[in-house]
Amino acid sequence: MSALRVVVVGASGRMGRMLVRAVTESRGATLLGATERPGSEFIGRDAGELAGVETLAVRLVDHVSDCPEADVLIDFTAPSATLKHAEFVAERGMAMVIGTTGFDAGQLQQLRDTLSGSAVVMAANYSVGVNLALSLIERAARVLGDDYDAEIFEAHHKHKVDAPSGTALAMGKSLAAGRGVVLEDVAVLSREGITGARKAGAIGFSVVRGGNIVGEHKAMFIADEERIEINHIASDRMVFARGAVRAAGWLSNQPCGWYDMHDVLGLNS
């Protein structure tokens, strides 16, 4: 069986370098192309050298159209860039693994329309542990109901630009699904001033940004007599990169469709 041919976009960033490294460490994948935004000082540099692995003879280019044809594109960039990369994927008949967060409703619909004929995995978090936690949160919410107050806590490094994180929102959606409600109808994303007593059924969010925190997420179910917490702490971004490469390998054997990490890990069965 031939190796999975991969393009990584945003390959000079923190996650991009991790993705390049994860591809090179995978026995079933090979890096064919790597990109960075136009004007970047890293254009022309070897992707492997930037990632701290061996020279790969794959140099960063500033347009994805300059990359050779591949099987899958992995994208952890920004919504506007991801939308452009999706057009390339659709035109080339490739698959796409998307880790970008922060899409608004219109952008997400545009993304789905563009990739309607493609095989796609899109997830807020590619950690196996986080996705297991999402399943546990939904199950706990179903059992506990809204007799327990629910809070989602998350913390990330100071450079993260969106809040709450995509993973925190995914936790909130899992919790809401377990209760049989829509997150947008019950979410409390901020508190300031005299807010009054907590409303029954609300799902609250708390956000921390600072230092080099890779990622911490916690779902809390709080009653007068007890508190249940489902907690995940990431200590290295490679956990996300390896999960994305695992998703890419799984996707190569799937028909066109829109999947998430629960599908990749068999948690939906």
Residues 15, 99 share a domain: yes
pLDDT in tens, 129-158: 999 999 999 999 999 999 999 999 999 999
Residues 176, 43 share a domain: no
Residues 242, 228 share a domain: no
pLDDT in tens, 187-231: 999 999 999 999 999 999 999 999 999 999 999 999 999 999 999
63 is catalytic: no
pTM above 0.75, yes or no: yes
- Look up the CATH number of the domain holding residue 146: 3.30.360.10
Report how far apart, in Å, the C-alpha atoms of 228 and of each of 100, 107, 128, 171 are: 30, 36, 21, 15
pLDDT in tens, 64-107: 999 998 999 999 999 999 999 999 999 999 999 999 988 999 99
Residues 241, 224 share a domain: no
Report how far apart, in Å, the C-alpha atoms of 37 and of each of 44, 60, 85 are: 12, 9, 12
Q: Which residue in 104, 219, 105 sits closest to 170, CA to CA?
A: 219
160 is catalytic: yes
Residues 102, 76 share a domain: yes
Phi first, then psi: give them for residue 32, nearest 5 degrees.
Answer: -105, -30
d(CA 86, CA 65) in angstroms, rounded, equals 11
Residues 67, 10 share a domain: yes
Q: Name the residue range of residue 136's domain.
A: 128-234
Q: Which residue in 226, 208, 223 sits closest to 168, CA to CA?
A: 208
Averaged pLDDT score across all residues of the chain: 94
Residues 81, 213 share a domain: no
Residues 201, 181 share a domain: yes
Q: Which residue in 206, 203, 197 sits closest to 179, CA to CA?
A: 203
Specify the amino acid at residue 46. Answer: D
Tokens encoding 9? 């976009």
pLDDT in tens, 22-78: 999 998 999 999 999 999 999 999 999 999 988 889 999 999 999 998 999 999 999
Number of structural domains found in the chain: 2
Cβ(207)–Cβ(157) under 8 Å?
no
Phi first, then psi: give them for residue 34, nearest 5 degrees.
Answer: -150, 140
Residues 245, 115 share a domain: yes
Cβ(64)–Cβ(84) under 8 Å?
yes
What's the pLDDT at 5?
A: 96
Catalytic-labelled residue, pool 84, 157, 160, 262:
160
d(CA 243, CA 23) in angstroms, rounded, equals 11
Residues 200, 92 share a domain: no
Catalytic-labelled residue, pool 156, 173, 217, 218:
156
